[in-house]
């Protein structure tokens, strides 16, 4: 939104992103797959093991071949 406004006022997209504090790469990002099931399972495992970090939780999920 801000980038469109800035570009309509003859500011480059790169400069507008810099001013907004947004990475230019994020503008064109489109997720390729839906990870809803994975996220739900990860949240479930994280609730069971609140002291584990994301690396440990991902390793646990890989071990049981959940995804």
User: Model pTM?
Assistant: 0.45
- Which pair of tokens denotes residue 48? 């069971």
> What per-residue confidence (pLDDT) applies to 3?
58
The structure tokens listed for 1 are: 């939104």
> Residue 47: what pLDDT?
92
- List the one residue out of 64, 1, 5 whose CA is nearest residue 27: 1
Compute the average pLDDT of residues 51-56.
89
pLDDT in tens, 20-42: 787 878 777 777 777 788 888 88
1-21 b/e with 16+ CB inside 10 Å = b? eebeebeeeeeeeeebbeeee
Give the pLDDT band of residue 18 (cuts 50, 70, 90): confident
Reading the block at residue 39, the tokens are 């996220």
Query: In the prediction, which pLDDT does 1 show?
Result: 58
């Amino acid at each position: 939104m801000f980038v469109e406004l800035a570009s309509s006022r003859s500011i480059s997209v790169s400069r507008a992103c810099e001013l907004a504090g947004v990475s230019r790469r994020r503008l064109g990002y489109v997720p390729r797959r839906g990870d809803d099931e994975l996220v739900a399972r990860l949240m479930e495992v994280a609730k069971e093991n609140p002291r584990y970090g994301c690396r440990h939780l991902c390793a646990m999920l890989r071990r049981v071949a959940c995804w």
